[in-house]
Amino acid sequence: MNNTAHQPHCFTAWNVLDWISKQTIIHLSKTLACDELVTDKICGNIRLQGDKKTLLWHVKGPLSVSGNVTVYHRWGHQPIVVIINQRKEHTILKGETLTLSITNLKTLEVRGDGTSNAFSIGKYSLTIQYRLSHGYANPATGELICYLSDKDGNPVKSLRCMELIQTPNRKTVKVSVSHNTTTYLQKVQVLLKGFITIRVVENDREFKIDTIPFQVEEDFLLYAPVGSFIKCQISDVQCSVYYTNKGEKINVMLEFCQQLQMVENKVIEMLACPTLPDTG
């Protein structure tokens, strides 16, 4: 047998059927200063002896609190004195219930109104509302940075690119190439998904503001016969971020180059001569 004769060899390669390159820009925004209306319900028991005063609740922090206060005198011969904001007093007797609507509640206290050491037993409840403001860095001093990341804020180099499967198959579109020439292309639907993390540097400190998910769907007309599939390459990624609305909002612009190829697996046969080992 002649080992030096040409023999057929087969291998699989990607055959590029069509391709396109385009610049893509994605705009995102994040509101920083937003007020959240919070509702709290608080309740507890009252146990007083003599004329001792007990603080039931007080506001924490610079909050403007409003809502309803209810105090019930369940047992005991001595009246219960309800004190609002350390000055306004209301007296209730056994079996009575006091309900007040207050727009600027700071403190709620009770004390017994008697000279003996007898006990007074009761209950209280509050349904209050207040606004929490979520703020971040001062736009006058904070420098913003942004980058592609995973869902946890860790930097990544690219984003997810995939074709959206169409049923039963890709739609074919008739396209006019010139005055007398037409061709048929397929509509390829591409989904881009990823995350952008925004961080701020202020006074030599750096901390994360947020990680924002995003996704974009785009349609392309390509030569994409049955059996072909898409290959995506994302390059030249640039992210810019800036404050708007006096620091209450952040705008993000993500720009990158998107290269798409429609490929198919193709078996190629060629004649080749095997290389004989060097026996010396």
Assign 3-state DSSP to the chain and report helix, strand, coil percentages, each to 5: 0, 70, 30
**Distance from C-alpha of 256 to C-alpha of 24, rounded to nearest angstrom:** 6
Helix (H) or strand (E) holding 279: none
Higher pLDDT, 225 or 131: 225
Q: What is the pTM of this model?
A: 0.56
> Domain containing 15: what range?
7-32+136-266
Q: Which of 133, 151, 166 is the last residue of a domain?
A: 133
pLDDT at 35 over 80: no
Q: Residue 140 in contact with residue 200, Cβ under 8 Å?
A: no
Q: Looking at the domain assignment, is residue 27 inside a domain? A: yes
**Distance from C-alpha of 76 to C-alpha of 119, rounded to nearest angstrom:** 6
Q: Looking at the domain assignment, is residue 2 inside a domain? A: no
**Is residue 89 domain-shared with residue 54, that is, in the same domain?**
yes
**Is residue 150 domain-shared with residue 13, that is, in the same domain?**
yes
**Is residue 152 domain-shared with residue 248, that is, in the same domain?**
yes
**Distance from C-alpha of 111 to C-alpha of 123, rounded to nearest angstrom:** 13
Q: Looking at the domain assignment, is residue 48 inside a domain? A: yes
Confidence of residue 1 (pLDDT cuts 50, 70, 90): very low
**Is residue 111 domain-shared with residue 226, that is, in the same domain?**
no
Q: Which of 133, 160, 175 is the last residue of a domain?
A: 133
pLDDT at 61 over 70: yes
Q: Looking at the domain assignment, is residue 271 inside a domain? A: no
What is the DSSP annotation of 123-141?
A: EEEEEEEEEEEE----TTT
**Number of independent structural domains in the chain:** 2
Q: What is the pLDDT of residue 68?
A: 95
**Is residue 170 domain-shared with residue 58, that is, in the same domain?**
no
pLDDT at 222 over 90: yes
| Averaged pLDDT of the chain | 85
- The average pLDDT across 45-55 equals 90
**Is residue 149 domain-shared with residue 196, that is, in the same domain?**
yes
